[in-house]
Protein backbone atom coordinates (compact mmCIF):
# COMPACT_ATOMS: atom_id res chain seq x y z
CA UNK A 1 0.00 0.00 0.00
CA UNK A 2 1.35 3.45 -0.98
CA UNK A 3 0.14 6.81 0.33
CA UNK A 4 0.30 9.90 -1.91
CA UNK A 5 -0.12 13.51 -0.81
CA UNK A 6 -1.61 15.86 -3.44
CA UNK A 7 -1.00 19.22 -1.78
CA UNK A 8 -2.05 21.66 -4.56
CA UNK A 9 -5.17 21.93 -6.74
CA UNK A 10 -4.53 19.33 -9.45
CA UNK A 11 -7.13 18.11 -11.97
CA UNK A 12 -9.17 15.34 -10.33
CA UNK A 13 -9.78 13.69 -13.72
CA UNK A 14 -6.03 13.65 -14.37
CA UNK A 15 -5.41 11.94 -11.04
CA UNK A 16 -7.63 9.02 -12.10
CA UNK A 17 -4.74 6.54 -12.63
CA UNK A 18 -3.84 7.01 -8.94
CA UNK A 19 -7.40 7.30 -7.59
CA UNK A 20 -8.37 4.06 -9.32
CA UNK A 21 -5.31 2.05 -8.25
CA UNK A 22 -6.18 -0.42 -5.48
CA UNK A 23 -2.83 -0.29 -3.72
CA UNK A 24 -2.75 3.55 -3.54
CA UNK A 25 -4.32 5.93 -1.05
CA UNK A 26 -4.54 9.53 -2.32
CA UNK A 27 -4.81 12.31 0.26
CA UNK A 28 -5.77 15.70 -1.25
CA UNK A 29 -4.84 18.15 1.51
CA UNK A 30 -2.48 21.06 2.15
CA UNK A 31 0.85 20.26 3.80
CA UNK A 32 -0.24 22.28 6.87
CA UNK A 33 -3.28 19.98 7.30
CA UNK A 34 -1.19 16.79 7.49
CA UNK A 35 1.78 18.06 9.56
CA UNK A 36 1.41 15.22 12.11
CA UNK A 37 1.78 12.43 9.61
CA UNK A 38 3.99 13.90 6.87
CA UNK A 39 6.43 11.02 7.42
CA UNK A 40 3.86 8.54 6.09
CA UNK A 41 3.70 9.63 2.44
CA UNK A 42 5.54 7.77 -0.32
CA UNK A 43 4.86 10.40 -3.00
CA UNK A 44 4.05 14.10 -3.18
CA UNK A 45 2.24 15.78 -6.09
CA UNK A 46 2.40 19.58 -6.38
CA UNK A 47 1.65 22.41 -8.78
CA UNK A 48 3.12 25.83 -7.80
CA UNK A 49 1.72 26.70 -4.37
CA UNK A 50 3.60 24.06 -2.35
CA UNK A 51 7.23 24.95 -1.83
CA UNK A 52 9.13 21.69 -1.57
CA UNK A 53 11.92 22.93 0.68
CA UNK A 54 14.71 21.02 2.38
CA UNK A 55 12.75 21.43 5.64
CA UNK A 56 9.65 19.76 4.18
CA UNK A 57 11.71 16.99 2.58
CA UNK A 58 13.40 16.30 5.93
CA UNK A 59 9.97 15.78 7.56
CA UNK A 60 8.71 13.47 4.78
CA UNK A 61 10.85 10.54 5.83
CA UNK A 62 9.12 7.92 3.63
CA UNK A 63 9.07 10.12 0.53
CA UNK A 64 10.37 8.50 -2.64
CA UNK A 65 9.15 10.78 -5.43
CA UNK A 66 7.87 14.33 -6.03
CA UNK A 67 5.77 14.96 -9.13
CA UNK A 68 5.37 18.52 -10.42
CA UNK A 69 2.23 19.03 -12.51
CA UNK A 70 3.93 21.49 -14.85
CA UNK A 71 7.23 22.10 -16.61
CA UNK A 72 9.36 24.17 -14.21
CA UNK A 73 10.61 22.62 -10.99
CA UNK A 74 11.66 25.93 -9.43
CA UNK A 75 9.35 25.42 -6.41
CA UNK A 76 11.25 22.24 -5.58
CA UNK A 77 14.68 22.14 -3.93
CA UNK A 78 16.06 19.55 -6.34
CA UNK A 79 19.49 19.44 -4.66
CA UNK A 80 17.89 18.69 -1.29
CA UNK A 81 15.67 16.04 -2.94
CA UNK A 82 18.78 14.41 -4.42
CA UNK A 83 20.42 14.52 -0.97
CA UNK A 84 17.44 12.64 0.51
CA UNK A 85 17.32 10.20 -2.42
CA UNK A 86 13.95 11.54 -3.61
CA UNK A 87 13.25 11.44 -7.35
CA UNK A 88 11.77 14.61 -8.92
CA UNK A 89 9.68 14.36 -12.07
CA UNK A 90 7.70 16.94 -14.06
CA UNK A 91 5.18 17.06 -16.93
CA UNK A 92 7.41 18.42 -19.70
CA UNK A 93 4.91 18.95 -22.49
CA UNK A 94 1.39 18.87 -21.01
CA UNK A 95 0.93 22.64 -21.11
CA UNK A 96 2.93 23.62 -24.22
CA UNK A 97 -0.05 24.56 -26.38
CA UNK A 98 -1.87 26.45 -23.62
CA UNK A 99 1.20 28.54 -22.79
CA UNK A 100 1.92 29.25 -26.46
CA UNK A 101 -1.71 30.31 -26.98
CA UNK A 102 -1.60 32.53 -23.88
CA UNK A 103 1.58 34.19 -25.18
CA UNK A 104 -0.16 34.85 -28.47
CA UNK A 105 -3.27 36.21 -26.75
CA UNK A 106 -1.03 38.57 -24.75
CA UNK A 107 0.74 39.66 -27.94
CA UNK A 108 -2.53 40.52 -29.69
CA UNK A 109 -3.89 42.22 -26.57
CA UNK A 110 -0.69 44.25 -26.22
CA UNK A 111 -0.49 45.68 -29.73
CA UNK A 112 -4.27 46.34 -29.96
CA UNK A 113 -4.62 47.72 -26.40
CA UNK A 114 -7.49 45.34 -25.71
CA UNK A 115 -7.33 45.34 -21.87
CA UNK A 116 -7.19 49.16 -21.76
CA UNK A 117 -10.04 49.52 -24.28
CA UNK A 118 -12.10 46.97 -22.33
CA UNK A 119 -11.72 48.97 -19.11
CA UNK A 120 -12.58 52.17 -20.97
CA UNK A 121 -15.83 50.85 -22.48
CA UNK A 122 -16.83 49.29 -19.14
CA UNK A 123 -16.36 52.78 -17.64
CA UNK A 124 -19.04 53.96 -20.13
CA UNK A 125 -16.49 55.72 -22.41
CA UNK A 126 -16.40 55.40 -26.21
CA UNK A 127 -12.94 56.63 -27.18
CA UNK A 128 -11.97 54.99 -30.47
CA UNK A 129 -9.03 57.29 -31.21
CA UNK A 130 -7.29 56.47 -27.90
CA UNK A 131 -6.72 52.85 -28.83
CA UNK A 132 -5.20 52.82 -32.29
CA UNK A 133 -3.03 49.71 -32.44
CA UNK A 134 -0.66 48.05 -34.88
CA UNK A 135 -0.89 44.92 -37.01
CA UNK A 136 1.12 41.81 -36.27
CA UNK A 137 1.34 41.08 -39.99
CA UNK A 138 4.81 41.84 -41.37
CA UNK A 139 6.26 42.63 -37.94
CA UNK A 140 9.54 41.15 -36.68
CA UNK A 141 9.06 38.83 -33.73
CA UNK A 142 12.09 37.92 -31.63
CA UNK A 143 11.82 34.58 -29.85
CA UNK A 144 14.40 33.95 -27.14
CA UNK A 145 14.45 30.24 -26.29
CA UNK A 146 13.19 27.76 -28.86
CA UNK A 147 12.06 24.77 -26.86
CA UNK A 148 8.55 23.33 -27.02
CA UNK A 149 6.72 26.58 -26.18
CA UNK A 150 8.96 28.97 -28.15
CA UNK A 151 8.58 26.89 -31.30
CA UNK A 152 4.76 26.71 -30.95
CA UNK A 153 4.66 30.50 -30.56
CA UNK A 154 6.82 30.82 -33.70
CA UNK A 155 4.46 28.58 -35.72
CA UNK A 156 1.50 30.78 -34.77
CA UNK A 157 3.49 33.93 -35.60
CA UNK A 158 4.29 32.54 -39.06
CA UNK A 159 0.56 31.92 -39.62
CA UNK A 160 -0.03 35.61 -38.81
CA UNK A 161 2.53 36.66 -41.45
CA UNK A 162 5.21 37.70 -38.96
CA UNK A 163 8.95 37.39 -39.59
CA UNK A 164 10.39 35.29 -36.79
CA UNK A 165 13.96 35.70 -35.50
CA UNK A 166 15.13 33.14 -32.98
CA UNK A 167 17.93 33.11 -30.46
CA UNK A 168 18.63 29.67 -29.03
CA UNK A 169 22.14 28.23 -28.90
CA UNK A 170 20.68 24.76 -29.52
CA UNK A 171 18.64 25.64 -32.62
CA UNK A 172 19.84 23.77 -35.69
CA UNK A 173 19.65 25.26 -39.20
CA UNK A 174 17.50 22.33 -40.36
CA UNK A 175 14.90 22.83 -37.61
CA UNK A 176 14.85 26.60 -38.22
CA UNK A 177 14.23 26.04 -41.93
CA UNK A 178 11.47 23.51 -41.24
CA UNK A 179 9.52 26.01 -39.08
CA UNK A 180 10.41 29.00 -41.27
CA UNK A 181 12.36 31.04 -38.70
CA UNK A 182 15.69 32.84 -38.84
CA UNK A 183 18.40 31.62 -36.41
CA UNK A 184 20.15 34.68 -34.93
CA UNK A 185 22.55 35.84 -32.29
CA UNK A 186 21.02 37.45 -29.21
CA UNK A 187 22.17 40.88 -30.39
CA UNK A 188 20.53 40.36 -33.79
CA UNK A 189 17.22 39.41 -32.16
CA UNK A 190 17.41 42.43 -29.87
CA UNK A 191 18.14 44.93 -32.64
CA UNK A 192 15.74 43.70 -35.33
CA UNK A 193 12.57 42.81 -33.38
CA UNK A 194 9.38 44.86 -33.01
CA UNK A 195 8.15 42.41 -30.37
CA UNK A 196 10.30 40.14 -28.18
CA UNK A 197 9.00 37.12 -26.29
CA UNK A 198 11.06 34.96 -23.92
CA UNK A 199 10.67 31.18 -23.57
CA UNK A 200 13.61 29.99 -21.50
CA UNK A 201 13.69 28.51 -18.02
CA UNK A 202 14.98 30.77 -15.24
CA UNK A 203 18.63 29.82 -14.73
CA UNK A 204 21.87 31.56 -13.70
CA UNK A 205 22.38 32.33 -17.41
CA UNK A 206 18.88 33.69 -18.13
CA UNK A 207 18.26 35.66 -14.90
CA UNK A 208 18.14 39.34 -15.88
CA UNK A 209 18.80 38.45 -19.54
CA UNK A 210 16.70 41.43 -20.56
CA UNK A 211 18.38 43.93 -18.28
CA UNK A 212 19.61 47.50 -18.89
CA UNK A 213 22.45 46.48 -21.24
CA UNK A 214 20.37 44.30 -23.54
CA UNK A 215 17.24 46.50 -23.39
CA UNK A 216 19.40 49.35 -24.67
CA UNK A 217 20.08 47.24 -27.80
CA UNK A 218 16.35 46.92 -28.64
CA UNK A 219 14.45 49.12 -31.10
CA UNK A 220 12.75 52.20 -29.66
CA UNK A 221 9.06 51.30 -29.44
CA UNK A 222 9.67 47.58 -28.84
CA UNK A 223 6.98 45.45 -27.16
CA UNK A 224 8.08 42.78 -24.65
CA UNK A 225 6.30 39.61 -23.49
CA UNK A 226 7.18 37.28 -20.62
CA UNK A 227 4.97 34.23 -20.15
CA UNK A 228 7.93 32.08 -19.07
CA UNK A 229 9.43 32.92 -15.67
CA UNK A 230 9.65 36.11 -13.63
CA UNK A 231 13.24 37.37 -13.46
CA UNK A 232 14.26 36.65 -17.06
CA UNK A 233 13.34 40.30 -17.63
CA UNK A 234 14.89 42.55 -15.00
CA UNK A 235 11.81 44.29 -13.54
CA UNK A 236 13.68 47.42 -12.40
CA UNK A 237 15.13 47.82 -15.89
CA UNK A 238 11.63 47.42 -17.39
CA UNK A 239 10.39 50.26 -15.19
CA UNK A 240 13.28 52.48 -16.34
CA UNK A 241 12.77 51.70 -20.05
CA UNK A 242 9.00 52.26 -19.77
CA UNK A 243 9.57 55.55 -17.98
CA UNK A 244 11.93 56.84 -20.65
CA UNK A 245 9.53 55.75 -23.40
CA UNK A 246 11.94 53.32 -25.08
CA UNK A 247 9.67 50.31 -24.50
CA UNK A 248 6.16 50.77 -25.95
CA UNK A 249 4.47 48.11 -23.85
CA UNK A 250 5.00 44.98 -21.79
CA UNK A 251 2.85 41.88 -21.28
CA UNK A 252 3.64 39.86 -18.18
CA UNK A 253 2.13 36.60 -17.00
CA UNK A 254 4.93 36.00 -14.50
CA UNK A 255 6.81 38.03 -11.88
CA UNK A 256 9.96 37.76 -9.80
CA UNK A 257 7.70 37.57 -6.73
CA UNK A 258 4.24 36.05 -7.16
CA UNK A 259 1.90 37.67 -6.37
CA UNK A 260 3.76 40.90 -7.20
CA UNK A 261 2.00 43.04 -4.57
CA UNK A 262 2.12 46.79 -5.14
CA UNK A 263 4.78 46.56 -7.88
CA UNK A 264 5.72 49.77 -9.76
CA UNK A 265 5.18 47.96 -13.10
CA UNK A 266 1.46 47.69 -12.32
CA UNK A 267 1.14 51.48 -12.41
CA UNK A 268 1.86 51.73 -16.17
CA UNK A 269 -1.13 51.82 -18.55
CA UNK A 270 0.98 50.11 -21.21
CA UNK A 271 1.83 47.12 -19.00
CA UNK A 272 -0.74 44.34 -19.26
CA UNK A 273 -0.72 41.49 -16.80
CA UNK A 274 -2.23 38.12 -15.93
CA UNK A 275 -1.67 36.05 -12.75
CA UNK A 276 0.56 33.24 -14.13
CA UNK A 277 -2.21 31.80 -16.31
CA UNK A 278 -0.12 30.30 -19.13
CA UNK A 279 -0.91 26.72 -18.14
CA UNK A 280 -4.34 27.46 -16.68
CA UNK A 281 -6.64 25.71 -19.12
CA UNK A 282 -8.83 22.68 -18.55
CA UNK A 283 -6.86 20.83 -21.22
CA UNK A 284 -3.37 21.65 -19.93
CA UNK A 285 -4.29 20.86 -16.34
CA UNK A 286 -5.74 17.51 -17.40
CA UNK A 287 -2.63 16.70 -19.46
CA UNK A 288 -0.08 17.64 -16.77
CA UNK A 289 -2.02 15.85 -14.03
CA UNK A 290 -2.37 12.70 -16.14
CA UNK A 291 1.33 12.79 -17.07
CA UNK A 292 2.60 13.04 -13.48
CA UNK A 293 -0.03 10.64 -12.11
CA UNK A 294 0.94 7.96 -14.65
CA UNK A 295 4.66 8.45 -14.03
CA UNK A 296 4.31 8.38 -10.24
CA UNK A 297 2.23 5.19 -10.49
CA UNK A 298 4.86 3.57 -12.73
CA UNK A 299 7.60 4.59 -10.31
CA UNK A 300 5.81 3.18 -7.27
CA UNK A 301 5.21 -0.04 -9.20
CA UNK A 302 8.95 -0.28 -9.86
CA UNK A 303 8.71 0.52 -13.58
CA UNK A 304 11.04 2.99 -15.37
CA UNK A 305 9.83 6.61 -15.50
CA UNK A 306 10.36 9.25 -18.16
CA UNK A 307 10.56 12.98 -17.51
CA UNK A 308 12.31 15.94 -19.14
- Alpha carbon 304 to chain centroid, angstroms: 27
**Minimum CB distance to ligand MLT smaller for 8 or for 194:** 8
**Minimum CB distance to ligand MLT smaller for 50 or for 193:** 50
Question: Rounded CA gap, 127 and 121, in Å?
Answer: 8
Query: Which runs of E-coded beta strand occur in 93-180?
Result: 140-144, 163-167
**H or E segment to which residue 251 belongs:** strand 247-252
CB of 111 to ligand MLT, least distance (A): 24
Q: Which one of the listed residues 102, 113, 165, 229 is annotated catalytic?
A: 229
Q: Based on the shown chain and the rule CB under 6 A, indicate whether residue 281 belongs to the binding site for ligand MLT.
A: no
Max Cα–Cα distance, the chain, nearest Å: 66
- Cβ atoms of residues 179 and 125 within 8 Å: no
| 229 is known as an active-site residue | yes
Question: Rounded CA gap, 72 and 82, in Å?
Answer: 17
Cis? peptide before 110, omega within 30° of 0: no
CB of 73 to ligand MLT, least distance (A): 8
Q: How many CA atoms lie within 13 A of 79 on its CB side?
A: 0
Binder among 5, 43, 63, 71 for ligand MLT (CB under 6 A) = 71
CB of 279 to ligand MLT, least distance (A): 4
**Minimum CB distance to ligand MLT smaller for 270 or for 281:** 281
Q: How many residues bind ligand MLT (CB under 6 A)?
A: 9
**Minimum CB distance to ligand MLT smaller for 165 or for 276:** 276
Binder among 7, 11, 50, 95 for ligand MLT (CB under 6 A) = 95
**Minimum CB distance to ligand MLT smaller for 140 or for 276:** 276
Question: Residue 65 phi/psi, 5° resolution?
Answer: -150, 140
Q: Based on the shown chain and the rule CB under 6 A, indicate whether residue 199 belongs to the binding site for ligand MLT.
A: no
**Minimum CB distance to ligand MLT smaller for 148 or for 163:** 148
Residues 100-159 that bind ligand MLT (CB under 6 A): none
Is 187 buried (19+), middle (13-18) or exposed (0-12) by CB count in 10 A? exposed
| 258 is known as an active-site residue | yes
| 23 is known as an active-site residue | no
Q: Which one of the listed residues 68, 102, 156, 276 is annotated catalytic?
A: 276
CB of 225 to ligand MLT, least distance (A): 15
CA angle 35, 41, 44 (to 5 degrees): 90
Closest to 18 in 3D by CA, of 37, 40, 1 = 1
CB of 280 to ligand MLT, least distance (A): 6
Binder among 26, 76, 141, 279 for ligand MLT (CB under 6 A) = 279
Q: Based on the shown chain and the rule CB under 6 A, indicate whether residue 226 belongs to the binding site for ligand MLT.
A: no
Alpha-carbon radius of gyration of the chain:
21
**Cβ-proximal residues to 35 (8 Å cutoff; 6+ apart), any chain:** none
**Which positions are annotated as active-site residues?**
229, 258, 276
Residues of this chain that bind ligand MLT (CB under 6 A)? 47-48, 70-72, 95, 276, 278-279
Amino acid sequence: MFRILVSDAISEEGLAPLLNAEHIEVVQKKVSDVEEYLDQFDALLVRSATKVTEELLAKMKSLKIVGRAGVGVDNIDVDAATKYGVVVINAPDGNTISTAEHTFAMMAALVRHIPQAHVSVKSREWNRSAFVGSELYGKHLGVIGFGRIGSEVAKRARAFGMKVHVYDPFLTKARAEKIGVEPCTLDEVLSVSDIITVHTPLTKETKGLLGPKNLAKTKKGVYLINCARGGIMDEQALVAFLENGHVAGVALDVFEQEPPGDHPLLAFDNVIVTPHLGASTVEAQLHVATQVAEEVLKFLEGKPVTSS
